[in-house]
Amino acid sequence: MKQEIRNCQNCKQAFTIEPDDFAFYEKIQVPPPTFCPQCRKQRRLAWRNDINLYSRPCDLCKKSIISIYSPDSGLTVYCVKCWWSDKWDAKDYAQDYDFSKPFFVQFQELQRRVPILALANDNGVTGGSVNCEYTQDFTRAKNCYMVFLAWKLEDSMYSHYIIDCRGLVDCLSSWGGSDSVYEGILADQCYRCRYVYYSTALSESAFCLDCRDCSDCFMCTGLRHKQYCFKNQQYTKEEYQKILKEYRLDTYSGVERAKKEFGEMLYLKPRKFANFRNCANSTGDFLANCKNIRDGFVLQRVEDCRWVESSDAPKDSYDLSTGGELEQCYEGITPDHSYQSRFAIFSWEDRDVSYIDGVHSSTDVFGCCGLKKSQYCILNKQYSKEEYGIMLKKIREHMDQMPYVDRNGVAYRFGEFFPAELSYFGYNESMAQDHFPLTEQEARKRNFNWREKLQMTVGKETMRIDEVPDGITDVKDSITNEILACIECRRNYRIVPQELEFYRRMNIPIPRRCFYCRHRARTNFRNPFRLWQRKCDCQGVAVKEKNYQNIADHFHGVKPCPNEFQTSYAPDRPEIVYCEACYNAEVA
* Cβ–Cβ under 8 Å, residues 240 and 216: yes
The confidence band for 544, taking pLDDT boundaries of 50, 70 and 90, is low
Nearest-Å Rg of the Cα atoms of the chain is 25
Euclidean distance between CA atoms 580 and 331, whole angstroms: 32
As separate numbers, helices (DSSP H) first and strands (DSSP E) second, the chain gives: 12, 37
- 414-437 burial by CB neighbour count: b if 16+ within 10 A, else e? bbbbbbbbbbbbbbbbbbbbbbbe
Over the stretch 5-45, which tens digit does the pLDDT of each residue have?
999 999 999 999 999 999 999 999 999 999 999 999 999 99
Could you tell me if residue 198 is left (phi over 0), alpha (psi between -120 and 50 degrees) or otherwise beta?
left
203 to each of 163, 217, 256, 358, 526, how far by Cα in Å? 19, 8, 22, 41, 21
What is the per-residue pLDDT across 267-319, written as a single tens digit (0 to 9) for each? 999 999 999 999 999 999 999 999 999 999 999 999 999 999 999 999 999 99
Q: CB under 8 Å to 547, separation ≥6 — which residues?
A: none
Q: Tens digits of per-residue pLDDT, 446-503?
A: 999 999 989 999 999 999 999 999 999 999 999 999 999 999 999 999 999 999 999 9
d(CA 274, CA 277): 10
- Does residue 542 surpass a pLDDT of 70? no
Going by pLDDT thresholds of 50, 70 and 90, the confidence category of residue 118 is very high
Exposed / middle / buried, residue 507 (Cβ in 10 Å: 0-12, 13-18, 19+)? middle
pLDDT of residue 303: 98
**Is residue 541 scored above 80 in pLDDT?**
no
pLDDT of amino acid 352: 98
pLDDT band of residue 1 (cuts 50, 70, 90) is confident
Residue pair 441/140 in contact by the 8 Å Cβ criterion: no
- 127-156 per-position pLDDT tens digit: 789 999 999 999 889 999 999 999 999 999
Q: Indicate if the pLDDT at residue 93 is higher than 90.
A: yes
Q: Across the chain, what does the average pLDDT equal?
A: 96
180 pairs with which residues across the strands? none
Dihedral angle over CA of 438, 157, 301, 435, nearest 10? 0
CB 502: neighbour CB atoms within 10 A? Answer: 20
The band of 588, judged by pLDDT with boundaries at 50, 70 and 90, is low
> How far is Cα 199 from Cα 550, in angstroms, rounded to an integer?
22
- pTM to 2 decimals? 0.95
Query: What percentage of the chain exceeds 90 in pLDDT?
Result: 94
